[in-house]
C-alpha cells in the first residue's frame, strides 16, 4: 500500500474481483521480465532504439550477419540464462495454482513463466533455451550449444555493452571478427535459436491454441505488453469482438488502450504481488 494512491488501489481491487471469477487468460509481454534484468523493446527500459532486431531472411542469407548474431547472442545468453523469475512471474504461477487462470500465453522467449512454476504456457515466439537445426529439424538445448561455442572460441572475451530482449548484445563489428560459428552435429546444417524471428510467422497450431484459450476466457489479462505488433494485439481484438473483457497492466503507452475495459498504468512489480489483498483495503480507505 505504501506509495499507492486510492485510484490505483481501487483499480487493482476491480482487477482482483475479475480474477476471482476465474477463466482468466494471461497474455504477457517483455515488460513482465524487466524486473528480472531483461529489458523490453518499447517501455521505460526499452531497447528498440538500439538497432533493428535480426530477421529470418538476414540470418539465413548472410553468413557475416549470422556470425555477428551468434557472437552477440553467445554473450547475451549469460544474462538470459542466469535470469530468475520476479514477483510478477511468481504471481501468475500462484494465480494458476489457485485455479483462477484458464491459460498463459507469452510473447517472451525467456522461459521465466515456467521457471516460476507456470504450466502449459503457450510460447508464441519460442524459447531461447532451445536451438533448432534448419537442416534436419533436430532440437537441442542452448547450454549444449554454449559449451560448443565456448570451446570453438577460447579467446573470445568481448565485453557486452547492453543486452536486448531477444538475447543478443551490442558489440562493435571489430569485436566479432574471427568468431567461429558451429553447425548441427548430426547433419552440418545451420543452427538457429528456436524463436520466431522478424520475417517469420508464428506456427499456425500455436496461434490456434492461443485463440482457443481466448475464446473460452471470461477476462483477457494483458501484462507488460505495448501491443505494438499484431502478434499479440490480435488476441485483444478477438476478445473485444467476442465480448470478452480486457484488462491491461502496463507501464507506459500501449496500443491496447482503446480496447481495454480496465487499464492500469503502474509497475507490474507493484500490482501483481498484491492481487488478493486489496478488497478489504478499499473499504478501509473509503471509510477514512
Query: Scanning the structure block, which residue is given the C-alpha cell 551468434?
Result: 70
Per the structure block, which three cell numbers stand in for 51? Answer: 538497432
Q: Please state, in angstroms and as integers, the Cα–Cα distance from residue 262 to each residue in 163, 219, 250, 277, following that order.
A: 32, 11, 11, 18
Q: What is the DSSP letter of 138?
A: -
Q: Are 247 and 15 in contact (CB under 8 A)?
A: yes
**Angle at 46 (CA atoms; ends 41, 48), nearest 5 degrees:** 50
113 included as an active-site residue? no
**Known binding site: residues?**
29-49, 107-110, 133, 136, 184, 187, 224-226, 250-252, 268
Cα separation of 146 and 182, whole Å? 10
**Known binding site for Zn(2+): residues?**
133, 136, 184, 187
Cα separation of 109 and 186, whole Å? 26
Count the neighbouring beta carbons within 10 Å of the beta carbon of residue 281: 17
Catalytic residue, from 74, 89, 113, 125: name it. Answer: 125
Its sign, for the CA torsion 217, 115, 279, 7, is: negative
**Known binding site for NAD(+): residues?**
29-49, 107-110, 224-226, 250-252, 268
Which residue numbers are catalytic? 125
Amino acid at each position: 500500500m505504501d506509495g499507492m494512491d486510492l485510484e490505483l488501489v481501487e483499480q487493482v481491487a476491480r482487477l482482483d474481483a475479475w480474477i476471482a471469477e476465474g477463466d482468466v487468460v494471461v497474455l504477457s509481454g517483455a515488460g513482465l521480465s524487466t524486473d528480472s534484468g531483461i529489458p523490453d523493446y518499447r517501455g521505460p527500459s526499452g531497447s528498440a532504439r538500439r538497432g533493428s532486431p535480426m530477421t529470418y531472411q538476414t540470418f539465413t542469407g548472410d553468413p557475416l550477419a549470422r556470425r555477428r548474431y551468434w557472437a552477440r547472442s553467445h554473450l547475451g545468453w549469460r544474462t538470459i540464462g542466469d535470469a530468475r523469475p520476479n514477483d510478477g512471474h511468481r504471481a501468475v504461477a500462484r494465480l494458476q495454482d489457485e485455479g483462477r487462470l484458464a491459460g498463459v500465453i507469452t510473447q517472451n522467449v525467456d522461459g521465466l513463466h515456467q521457471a516460476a512454476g507456470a504450466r502449459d504456457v503457450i510460447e508464441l515466439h519460442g524459447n531461447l533455451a532451445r536451438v533448432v537445426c534448419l537442416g534436419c529439424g533436430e532440437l537441442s538445448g542452448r547450454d549444449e550449444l554454449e559449451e560448443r561455442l565456448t570451446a570453438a572460441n577460447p579467446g573470445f572475451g568481448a565485453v557486452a555493452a547492453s543486452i536486448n530482449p531477444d538475447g543478443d548484445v551490442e558489440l562493435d563489428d571489430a569485436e566479432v571478427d574471427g568468431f567461429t560459428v558451429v553447425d548441427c552435429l548430426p547433419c552440418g546444417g545451420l543452427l538457429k535459436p528456436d524463436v520466431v524471428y522478424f520475417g517469420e510467422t508464428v506456427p499456425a497450431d500455436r496461434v490456434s491454441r492461443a485463440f482457443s484459450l481466448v475464446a473460452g476466457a471470461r477476462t483477457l489479462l494483458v501484462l507488460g505488453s505495448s501491443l505494438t505488433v499484431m502478434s499479440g494485439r490480435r488476441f485483444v481484438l478477438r476478445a473485444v469482438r467476442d465480448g470478452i473483457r480486457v484488462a491491461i497492466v502496463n507501464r507506459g503507452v500501449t496500443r491496447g488502450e482503446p480496447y481495454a475495459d480496465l487499464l492500469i498504468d503502474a509497475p507490474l512489480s507493484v500490482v501483481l504481488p498484491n492481487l488478493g489483498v486489496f478488497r478489504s483495503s478499499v473499504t478501509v480507505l473509503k471509510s477514512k
